[in-house]
Amino acid sequence: MRYLTFALPKGRLAKKVLHMLEKQGITCSEIYTDTRKLIFVNEELKLKFFMAKTSDVPTYVEYGAADIGVVGKDTILEEKRNLYEVVDLGFGKCDMVVAGPKEMKEQLKYNNSIRVATKYPNIAKDYFYNKKNQKVEIIKLNGSVELAPLVGLAEVIVDIVETGTTLKENGLVVLEKIVPVSARMVVNRVSMKMESERINKIIKGLRELS
């Protein structure tokens, strides 16, 4: 039996996924040891686990370096990788939104000459160009995008909002909702055919828990 490999995002998402998998008897005690190892193995169940940067998880899964991955819907939409999205795990819930000063709400409807700052240029392009048929200038940022409207870099932002506290503290509001976001399980297309029995058993168990 070949190893089934999981790519998990670093941080709190990984802990929640591992907890859900443990309820199905899918365990890997090695992960909890204080070690610099990058790959963790359960020899008995023929499972491997590794932690990756969130935005890299879909790449590992598409190219078959991992059979299964867990990642936010925002990353799936942004990375546009060729894989199967199989389960909404029901945690890590937030919204992808357009936000900015409240006076921008009306201008957003009619004005094409708007600059949009975001960490998610592909999602922003798809929303404005394809769904709204609106031509805007999209500026890619890597840090706190809330800063952009405050210093005049952009009129609005596209970003993830969980509680809205950061927006509120900086005088910004949600202007339009783009898509709800949560953690999803994704599967490599070849692995789904080759290991369908094992993978479908995991999918079934996660669906019952989520």
**Single pTM value for the model:** 0.90
Burial classification of residue 152, based on how many CB atoms lie within 10 Å of its CB (0-12 exposed, 13-18 middle, 19 or more buried): exposed
**Whether residue 106 is found in the same domain as residue 65:** no
Q: Which residue has the tokens 């799936």?
A: 76
Sign of CA dihedral 96, 98, 101, 103: negative
At 195 the pLDDT is: 96
CA distance 142 to 1: 42
User: What is the block-wise mean pLDDT of the chain (210 residues), using blocks of 10 residues?
Assistant: 93 88 86 81 93 95 98 96 96 96 90 91 96 94 95 97 93 97 97 96 89
**Whether residue 177 is found in the same domain as residue 112:** yes
List all residues 6 or more positions away from 54 whose beta carbon is below 8 Å from its beta carbon. Answer: 9, 10, 11, 13, 71, 72, 75
Domains in the chain, number: 2
**Whether residue 52 is found in the same domain as residue 38:** yes
98 forms beta bridges with: 158, 176
At 109 the pLDDT is: 83
**Whether residue 46 is found in the same domain as residue 98:** no
**Whether residue 65 is found in the same domain as residue 117:** no
**Whether residue 59 is found in the same domain as residue 111:** no
**Whether residue 177 is found in the same domain as residue 198:** no
Domain span at residue 122? Answer: 94-181
The DSSP output letter for 56 is: G
At 193 the pLDDT is: 97
At 31 the pLDDT is: 81
**Whether residue 161 is found in the same domain as residue 134:** yes
**Whether residue 115 is found in the same domain as residue 147:** yes
Sign of CA dihedral 25, 13, 181, 184: negative
Please report, for the domain that includes residue 85, its CATH number: 3.40.190.10
**Whether residue 87 is found in the same domain as residue 103:** no
Contact 149, 101 (CB under 8 A): yes
